Amino acid sequence: MIFQIIMKAGKPYCRLRNTLQFVYSSYLVPFFLFPDLNCDITVDDVERAKAHVKSSGMGTSTGFDNILYDKILELEGVPLCFLLRECVRLRDAPSLCLQSLLAGILKKNGDPFDARSYRAVALESCLLKFLTLIIHLKLSRVIEDAGILPDSQNGFLAGFQTNDNMFILRTCIERAFADSRNLHVAFVDVSDAFPPMVPTYRR
């Protein structure tokens, strides 16, 4: 159902839809190969996300709806599952969950009178983040079981750290020095890898 919704969505999801079509056409992977991604959200999915939130900590800000994670964890699994399932099915959610509070945080040694010295932070609904967490956990489980991501993609794998590659690189350099061998390394700086954010908060 998750992929079906993305494939049927409109302009906001065009780039994601095209990417998915390219990936699946490149690897010739039919959607039915991953049935978990086309299943409705279950109570087990909700309880798994609750356990993840408890283990990761609940110290987060709220959005417009002022609903904290501890309030979400107090809800029973069945009604919460029904609410989230309907949000996915209808491709909609309570209006307050879809609004974000934008806050500007002054960068270190930044000029408080210069808008470029601020970092924009969006405070989103915990309920919306809880729903996206369920989708993330489902995707991660499928990707891990299928062995799609290599260990080098440690930023997306549980149990890995983003500085693992730096540690590996340093180890390779020290080993090359010890063995008096050459080590060829390429640092690739990819520009425009992500769409730019239009600073609408500036005038």
Q: What percentage of the chain reaches a pLDDT higher than 90?
A: 18
Q: Are 104 and 120 spatial neighbours (Cβ–Cβ below 8 Å)?
A: yes
Q: What is the pLDDT of residues 89-102, one digit of tens each?
A: 888 888 888 888 88
More confident residue, 1 or 155: 155
Query: 14 versus 149: which is more confidently predicted?
Result: 149
Residue 27: band (very low, low, confident or very high) from pLDDT cuts 50, 70, 90: very low
Domain positions in the chain are 151-191
pLDDT of res. 201: 42
Mean pLDDT check: name the lowest of 69-78, 95-104, 120-129, 190-199: 190-199
d(CA 164, CA 194): 23
- Confidence (pTM): 0.64
Residue 70 and residue 58: Cα distance in Å, rounded?
7
